[in-house]
Amino acid sequence: MSIGISLLYLALLNIAVSAEPAAESKALEKCQHSATEFQCVQYVKNYDGDTVTFNIPGIHQFFGRKISVRVSGVDTPEVRTRDLCEKEKARTARKLVSNILSRAKRIDLKNVERGKYFRVVADVVADGKSLKTLLLKNSLARHYDGGAKSKLPWCEATERATASE
């Protein structure tokens, strides 16, 4: 009796294992990469609000595992700073990005290119929503074109924007 159960278990396991690649390949069919887009990437971690690490399915592990990507068009507060207010804003930005990306059902990298310092820069889209837009909307980022960063302190900028509204 136990041999029969073992054989049945092995047969079911074989069916389950062989079914997984088919399901995975169907999911990847909807996630085709192009020269400027990587679709259905997997969130690994984020250092701060504008630097995120991803795994890119379907790409060789040397090039598609633990790839650091800079969010295009924004600069967020620095985690490593002596300014306590900026550090707190940086932690808030990091938590927001982590929450959004860890809960996202689908993440795509669009307009992928090499930026300053040969880094990968891309528009990060989580469940159809731009990470850049979400950071800007929550006053946790500034527009950034890759040139010189604003010297205006993060907390003064927020206080001035709030006072002028």
pLDDT in tens, 31-82: 899 999 999 999 999 999 999 999 999 999 988 999 999 999 999 999 888 8
Question: How many residues are listed for the chain in this entry?
Answer: 165
pLDDT at 152 over 80: no
pLDDT for the residue 29? 60
pLDDT for the residue 160? 47
> For the chain, what is the domain count?
1
Whether residue 20 lies inside any domain: the answer is no
Q: What value does the mean pLDDT of the chain take?
A: 81
pLDDT at 8 over 60: no
Range in 2-11, 87-96, 115-124, 132-141 with the lowest mean pLDDT: 2-11
Unique residue bearing structure tokens 């399901």: 23
Q: How far is CA 160 from the centre of its chain?
A: 30
Q: Which residue has the higher pLDDT, 156 or 14?
A: 156
CB 154 within 8 A of CB 75: no
pLDDT at 130 over 80: yes
Whether residue 109 lies inside any domain: the answer is yes
Q: Domain of 69?
A: 31-147
Nearest residue to 123 via CA among 52, 30, 33: 52
Whether residue 72 lies inside any domain: the answer is yes
- The one-letter code for the residue type at 106 is R
Whether residue 121 lies inside any domain: the answer is yes
Over residues 8-24, mean pLDDT: 40
* CATH code of residue 135: 2.40.50.90
pLDDT at 23 over 80: no
Whether residue 39 lies inside any domain: the answer is yes
Whether residue 110 lies inside any domain: the answer is yes
- d(Cα 91, Cα 73) in Å, to the nearest integer? 20
Whether residue 164 lies inside any domain: the answer is no
Task: List, in sequence order, every beta strand (DSSP E) within 1-141.
Answer: 42-46, 51-55, 67-71, 74-75, 107-114, 120-126, 129-130
SS3 4: helix
Q: Which residue has the higher pLDDT, 93 or 146?
A: 93
